[in-house]
Amino acid sequence: MLKFRNTTILFTVIIAVLLLAKILLAWPVWPIGIAALIYLTVLFFGSYRIDSQFYLPVVCSAKTNDKKIAISFDDGPDEHYTPRILSTLKEFHFPAIFFCIGKKIGGREKILKAITDAGHLVGNHSFSHDFWFSMKSAENMNLDLSAADDEIKKIIGVQPKLFRPPYGVTNPNIRKAVEYGRYTAVGWSIRSMDTVINDRNKLLSKLKSSLRPGAVILFHDTSLTMAEILPEFFQEIKNRGYEVVRIDQLLNLKPYA
Ligand SMILES: [Zn+2]
């Protein structure tokens, strides 16, 4: 599989050879431009495809034929949707992980506590969830992630070890921040697109058709459409003989430091 380091070495060699050919053999300049463009395209897709593991190891699913899956919710805690989702999870006896945003915890401490009291896990989804998070220096990322850890630890008493990068974007600085904080980066294998798809039937059929053994599903506890279809989707999971397990059990991870 392509990795950032190997790809960079490969394209540095290719571009150096093309440059030499231009100087010594009077080759045209456009092959250098094409090589640079291909390199930048690979970097871009590596950033936006979390499951490519291009910049750092990211656990996204389990290799298994057992009908076991894990469910995750990003971007909470939310006063409207998180309690509603917790009650649906309770009704079906399904466990989940909530990747919480540190700055949203103030004023919603009871909701965060209710998550762990119900037996679910809490992960770090950054403090700021800044749109430009991926552009921060590794040092500023560390500060941001530590601030989220502090907010979470104040309420639930333990420090998260599982981290989901905001927007699922990865790059070399995120790798450094993950290594420095000794986090496990966690992705997903099924992106529900629940913040984009507003049609309930469309969202439900997308989810039903993507169900696979070992899958990790990404939801957002900020989506009304998702909260509305969740009971029906959970029933489908049951009807098809799937078992929902906690992500630490599915992927053999340590959830807290
Ligand atoms: Zn997010």
**Residue written as token pair 């809490």:** 122
Same domain, 89 and 198: yes
Ligand 1: centre distance to CA 29 (Å): 42
Task: Examine residue 82 and state whether it is found in any structural domain, yes or no.
Answer: yes
Distance 208 CA to ligand 1 centre (A): 23
66 Cα–ligand 1 center, Å: 29
Chain centroid to CA 52: how far? 12
Q: Are residues 233 and 150 in the same domain?
A: yes
**SS3 label, residue 83:** helix
Number of domains in the chain: 2
Name residue 184's beta-bridge partners.
162
Residue type, 141: M
49 CA from centroid of ligand 1 (Å): 15
- What distance in Å separates the CA atoms of residue 194 and residue 181, rounded to the nearest whole number? 30
Name the residue with tokens 């790059």.
171
**75 and 202 share a domain?**
yes
Mean pLDDT of 117-139: 96
CA-based Rg of the chain, rounded to a whole angstrom? 21
Residues 38, 82, single domain; the answer is no
In the reported structure, the alpha carbon of residue 81 is separated from the centroid of ligand 1 by a whole-number distance in angstroms of 15
DSSP string, 28-62: -SHHHHHHHHHHHHHHHHHHH-GGG-SSS--B---
257 domain residue, yes or no: no
Distance 225 CA to ligand 1 centre (A): 17
Give the rounded percent of residues in the chain with a pLDDT score beyond 90: 98
The alpha carbon of 129 and the centre of ligand 1 are apart by a number of angstroms equal to 7
User: How far is C-alpha 16 from the geometric centre of its chain's CA atoms?
Assistant: 36
115 and 199 together in one domain:
yes
**From the CA of 99, how far away is ligand 1's center (Å)?**
8
Tell me the average pLDDT across 5-11.
Answer: 94
Same domain, 41 and 112: no
Both 102 and 149 in a single domain? yes
| Residues around ligand 1, an ion, CB closer than 5 A | 74-75
Strands (E), the chain: 68-76, 97-100, 121-124, 162-163, 184-185, 190-191, 216-220, 243-244
CB 226 within 8 A of CB 194: yes
**Nearest in space to 75 (alpha carbons), one of 142, 131, 114, 117:** 131
To which H or E segment does residue 198 belong? Answer: none
Instruction: Give 240 Cα–ligand 1 centroid separation in angstroms.
Output: 29
Q: What is the mean pLDDT of the chain?
A: 96
Asked, for residue 191, whether it belongs to a domain, the answer is yes
Q: What is the pLDDT of residues 54-113, one digit of tens each?
A: 999 999 999 999 999 999 999 999 999 999 999 999 999 999 999 999 999 999 999 999
Q: Is residue 53 part of a domain?
A: no
- Whether 80 and 191 map to the same domain: the answer is yes
Shared-domain flag, residues 29 and 84 = no
Omega within 30 of 0 (cis) for the link into 77: yes
Calculate how far, in angstroms, residue 19's C-alpha sits from the geometric centre of ligand 1.
42
pLDDT band at 2 (very low <50, low <70, confident <90, very high): confident
Enclosing domain of residue 38: 4-48
Residue at 54 is within a domain? no
SS3 86: helix
For residue 52, pLDDT over 80 is answered with: yes
